[in-house]
């Protein structure tokens, strides 16, 4: 029999390849097939109300992604063949990549695992398909990021064992525990945490700084990855907004549950982004914008409009948003000061800003930098110049929830730490803030198990009692190569020799680079 129309139209194809993949069970109960759908208390009355954020089917998905991939890898090859690493602004920039590769790329992989799992948990086929596609996106991002940066691994230190470090190194427990927290939650909380709070509300604060930072600093490999991920990110953001609106429209009982998740995940995301703030203000030789400016545009303005829009569902802006907004003038300096003093235990180098960089910070942070931070940094620079580069040789107290050292200060008094402490079932717990303390009080059973790197070292679980052994044996950080001060490091020396050679070889070429 002749087939009348071999090609399905888009609408039919979409229907066949998504919603029609589902069926009504006849001999098993629906709640047995989807056992994780209801325990969080979220009530879904009608899955058919789910609006698919992107009318994308699997066959089209593979086709688009394959095309993007082909172009991406052609550029990676060209970058490697042309020794693209020699054209970056300064080798200090590579330290931002070391942070990205150990801190962010493994999160893409964790997101892949998370979406793959929740894609199984929903009884609504539309949501399952969207999660499945995002899972594959995240896996691809994790892989392409590693490939984008692998060229740097041939020429700079500290990039050699990112996955291992992610599981062990003290500051990497911050991003790791963030995603572990989300992945061990129920499926609706996972989507609120990652799709909404992270991908929709905060993702621009991660992606724009890193990708514009790459562009401003001549890192074409990473910029190209950014472009190739952009259309995926747009899809993820749309899913984030759809998820939240769908849950809120389904039942009014969902509103307080979602509000609590938004409060929690806004705060956790904000704390995690301290690392990005410090990268923007301190690790980019050519600066894009200050962290405070980024926070104003991407959170205060965009986030403000979003939460205004969500008001009609009964959702208010996240708790402690005022604290976060105020902290935009502090966190990057506090984080960099922390990494500077623990620079013997990091896989990247740290340094004090040069004079023009300090002036830039003074200008971007007129209320806070000169008053609270510049004297400290100038003191450290002076100490270093006199042969006493400052390192803190004692381990820091960590927050039980975000796992960052308790370095943050009070909103009303930046000279005092916003430390909080409680006793729960006879044990003492310490926190960096009310935000983290509240998260603990909501779900103490979850955070009493926190694997706090400092405490693990002191319990003897990290292959040694002294920092040097832990750093080299347990973290796989090569002492004297990956860690310590940038000035005088092997990376620094290599960069000087690259630049020296280049100006000898082709003088006309280097003036073009500068333009």
Q: Among 384, 390, 410, 499, which residue interacts with another protein (rule: CB under 8 A)?
A: 390
CA dist 234 and 144 (Å) reads 18
Q: Using CB under 8 A, which of the segments 108-116, 141-149, 269-277, 414-422 binds another protein?
A: 414-422
Q: How far is the CB of 394 from another protein (least distance, A)?
A: 4
Q: How far is the CB of 278 from another protein (least distance, A)?
A: 12
Query: Using CB under 8 A, which residues numbered 253 to 282 contact another protein?
Result: none
CA dist 162 and 347 (Å) reads 9
Radius of gyration in angstroms for the set of CA atoms belonging to the chain, rounded to a whole number: 24
Contact mark string toward another protein, 433..472, x via CB under 8 A = --------xxxxxx-xxxxx-xx--xxx------------
Task: For residue 350, list its beta bridge partners.
Answer: 485
> Taking CB under 8 A as the rule, does residue 417 contact another protein?
yes
Task: For residue 429, list its beta bridge partners.
Answer: 422
Other CB atoms within 10 Å distance of the CB of residue 179:
24
CA dist 23 and 90 (Å) reads 57
Tell me which residue of 140, 199, 145, 191 sits closest to 37, measured CA to CA: 191
Q: How far is the CB of 454 from another protein (least distance, A)?
A: 5
> Taking CB under 8 A as the rule, does residue 405 contact another protein?
yes
Q: Using CB under 8 A, which of the segments 72-80, 88-96, 416-424, 479-487 binds another protein?
A: 416-424
207 near 80, Cβ under 8 Å? no
CA dist 204 and 197 (Å) reads 11
Q: How far is the CB of 405 from another protein (least distance, A)?
A: 4
| Paired sense of beta strands 420-424 and 427-431, if any | antiparallel
> Taking CB under 8 A as the rule, does residue 36 contact another protein?
yes
Q: How far is the CB of 191 from another protein (least distance, A)?
A: 15
> Taking CB under 8 A as the rule, does residue 358 contact another protein?
no
Q: Using CB under 8 A, which of the segments 69-77, 135-143, 398-406, 474-482 binds another protein?
A: 398-406
Cβ proximity to another protein: between 217 and 406 the closer is 406
Q: How far is the CB of 399 from another protein (least distance, A)?
A: 9
Other CB atoms within 10 Å distance of the CB of residue 352:
24
Q: How far is the CB of 275 from another protein (least distance, A)?
A: 14
User: Could you tell me the CA-to-CA distances from 324 to 144, 188, 509 in Å, in that order?
Assistant: 32, 25, 46
Q: Using CB under 8 A, which of the segments 25-33, 65-73, 86-94, 376-384 binds another protein?
A: 376-384
> Taking CB under 8 A as the rule, does residue 372 contact another protein?
yes
Question: How buried is 390 (Cβ within 10 angstroms: 0-12 exposed, 13-18 middle, 19+ buried)?
Answer: middle
Q: How far is the CB of 318 from another protein (least distance, A)?
A: 18
CA dist 182 and 194 (Å) reads 7
> Taking CB under 8 A as the rule, does residue 418 contact another protein?
no
Cβ proximity to another protein: between 388 and 473 the closer is 388
> Taking CB under 8 A as the rule, does residue 427 contact another protein?
yes
Q: How far is the CB of 382 from another protein (least distance, A)?
A: 10
Query: Using CB under 8 A, which residues numbered 113 to 152 contact another protein?
Result: none
Which residues are CB-neighbours of 295 under 8 A, at least 6 positions away? 205, 277, 325, 328
| Residue recorded with tokens 């790329």 | 105
Query: Using CB under 8 A, which residues numbered 331 to 350 contact another protein?
Result: 334, 337-338, 341
CA dist 209 and 277 (Å) reads 9
> Taking CB under 8 A as the rule, does residue 425 contact another protein?
yes
Cβ proximity to another protein: between 163 and 448 the closer is 448
Question: How buried is 229 (Cβ within 10 angstroms: 0-12 exposed, 13-18 middle, 19+ buried)?
Answer: buried
Question: How big is the site for another protein, counted in residues (CB under 8 A)?
Answer: 57
445 near 424, Cβ under 8 Å? no
Cβ proximity to another protein: between 152 and 339 the closer is 339
Q: Among 82, 359, 379, 463, which residue interacts with another protein (rule: CB under 8 A)?
A: 379
Q: How far is the CB of 336 from another protein (least distance, A)?
A: 10
Q: How far is the CB of 32 from another protein (least distance, A)?
A: 13
- DSSP per-residue string spanning 413-442: -TTSB--EEEEETTEEEEESSHHHHHHHHH
| Residue recorded with tokens 């029999």 | 1
**Secondary structure letter of residue 418 according to DSSP:** -
CA dist 208 and 317 (Å) reads 23
> Taking CB under 8 A as the rule, does residue 209 contact another protein?
no
Tell me which residue of 349, 456, 405 sits closest to 171, measured CA to CA: 405
Contact mark string toward another protein, 165..204, x via CB under 8 A = ---------------------x------------------
DSSP H/E element including 420: strand 420-424
Q: How far is the CB of 459 from another protein (least distance, A)?
A: 5
Cβ proximity to another protein: between 187 and 303 the closer is 187
**Secondary structure letter of residue 171 according to DSSP:** G
Q: How far is the CB of 350 from another protein (least distance, A)?
A: 12
Query: Using CB under 8 A, which residues numbered 37 to 96 contact another protein?
Result: 39-41
Tell me which residue of 345, 301, 350, 379 sits closest to 475, measured CA to CA: 345
Q: Which residues bind another protein (CB under 8 A)?
A: 35-36, 39-41, 186, 334, 337-338, 341, 371-373, 375-376, 379, 383, 388, 390, 392-398, 405-407, 409, 414-417, 419, 421, 425, 427-430, 441-446, 448-452, 454-455, 458-460
């Amino acid at each position: 029999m002749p087939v009348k129309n071999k090609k399905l139209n888009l609408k039919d194809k979409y229907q066949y390849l998504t919603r029609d993949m589902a069926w009504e069970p006849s001999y098993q109960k629906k709640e047995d097939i989807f056992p994780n759908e209801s325990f969080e208390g979220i009530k879904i009355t009608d899955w058919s109300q789910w609006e698919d954020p992107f009318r994308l089917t699997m066959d089209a998905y593979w086709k688009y992604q394959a095309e993007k991939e082909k172009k991406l890898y052609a550029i990676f090859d060209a970058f490697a063949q042309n020794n693209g690493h020699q054209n970056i602004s300064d080798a200090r920039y590579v330290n931002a990549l070391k942070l990205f590769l150990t801190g962010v790329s493994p999160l893409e992989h964790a997101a892949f695992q998370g979406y793959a799992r929740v894609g199984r948990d929903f009884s609504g086929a539309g949501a399952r398909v969207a999660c499945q596609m995002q899972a594959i996106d995240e896996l691809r991002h994790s892989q392409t990021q590693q490939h984008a940066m692998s060229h740097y691994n041939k020429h700079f230190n500290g990039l050699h064992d990112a996955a291992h470090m992610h599981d062990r190194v003290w500051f990497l427990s911050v991003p790791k525990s963030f995603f572990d927290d989300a992945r061990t939650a129920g499926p609706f909380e996972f989507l609120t945490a990652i799709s909404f709070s992270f991908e929709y509300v905060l993702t621009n604060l991660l992606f724009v700084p890193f990708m514009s930072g790459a562009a401003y600093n001549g890192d074409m490999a990473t910029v190209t990855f950014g472009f190739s991920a952009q259309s995926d990110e747009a899809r993820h953001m749309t899913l984030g907004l759809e998820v939240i609106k769908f849950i809120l429209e389904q039942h009014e009982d969902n509103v307080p549950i979602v509000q609590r998740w938004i409060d929690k995940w806004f705060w956790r995301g904000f704390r995690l982004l301290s690392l990005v703030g410090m990268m923007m203000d301190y690790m980019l030789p050519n600066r894009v914008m200050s962290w405070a400016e980024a926070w104003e545009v991407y959170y205060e303005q965009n986030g403000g409009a979003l939460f205004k829009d969500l008001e009609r569902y009964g959702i208010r802006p996240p708790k402690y948003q005022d604290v976060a907004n105020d902290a935009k003038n502090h966190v990057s300096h506090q984080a960099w000061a922390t990494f500077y003093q623990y620079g013997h235990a990091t896989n990247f180098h740290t340094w004090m800003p040069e004079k023009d960089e300090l002036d830039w910070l003074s200008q971007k942070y007129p209320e806070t930098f000169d008053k609270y931070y510049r004297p400290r940094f100038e003191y450290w620079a002076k100490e270093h110049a006199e042969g006493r580069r400052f390192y803190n040789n004692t381990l820091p107290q960590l927050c039980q929830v975000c796992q960052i050292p308790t370095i943050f200060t009070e909103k009303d008094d930046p000279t005092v730490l916003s430390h909080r402490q409680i006793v729960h079932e006879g044990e003492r717990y310490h926190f960096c803030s009310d935000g983290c303390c509240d998260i603990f009080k909501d779900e103490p059973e979850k955070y009493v198990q926190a694997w706090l790197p400092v405490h693990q070292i002191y319990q003897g679980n990290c292959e040694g009692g002294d920092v040097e052994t832990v750093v080299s044996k347990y973290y796989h950080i090569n002492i004297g190569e990956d860690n310590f001060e940038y000035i005088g490091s092997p990376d620094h020396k290599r960069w000087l020799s690259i630049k020296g050679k280049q100006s000898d070889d082709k003088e006309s070429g280097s003036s073009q680079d500068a333009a």
